[in-house]
Amino acid sequence: MKAKVLTIILGLIFPFAYVYSQPTQDEIQLYLLIMDYRAQYELPHIPFSVSLTQVAQIHAKDVYDHFDEIPAGCNSHSWSSHGPWQRCDYYPDHRNSKLMWSKPSELTEYKGNGYEICHYYNPPSTGVCTPQGALDGWKSSSGHNAVILNIGKWCSKEWKAIGVGMYKGVACVWFGAEDDPAGFYVIK
């Protein structure tokens, strides 16, 4: 009984804590789809990062739960003020990119920058995001596709870590150019 009460209290104080978990089947499927897509272009496998997955899971839930609070003119790379991170209003001109890129170091042991792609229904509560639907959305967006395939301004990046988070109508994937000190998931 005491453990259940403590769990409920912690859940109310730290709701983001329930987002971080082992990857779900959908998150694993999306990871594998991205790796298969990269393999079609003879690009290397990216290790499945524990830290970046935590960031992706937290952000997917934050976007879903607080989508209506994203200021006009901002996009889903924005972060609400409802967690242990600095709020970030992310505009299409990337003026606050450093606030978004720093989220891995705010939330985890990962000290490098993180670069995110996000797919969602608008608003997220109107549908369920599937792994294939998310990848198809990113493939049809030149900017997101460029991150996945290391093209354009991303060609000089060597991705050494990737994290995947999905929550109802939202999928977030984070890429990093440094190894994850927290380790990597092994998917068989």
The pTM score is 0.87
Backbone angles phi, psi at 118, to 5 degrees: -135, 140
> Please, are residues 164 and 48 in contact by the beta-carbon 8 Å criterion?
yes
Q: Which residues of the chain have pLDDT under 70?
A: 1-20, 122-125
> Please, are residues 38 and 46 in contact by the beta-carbon 8 Å criterion?
yes
What pLDDT score does 20 carry?
63
pLDDT tens string 124-170:
667 778 999 999 999 999 999 999 999 999 999 999 999 999 999 89
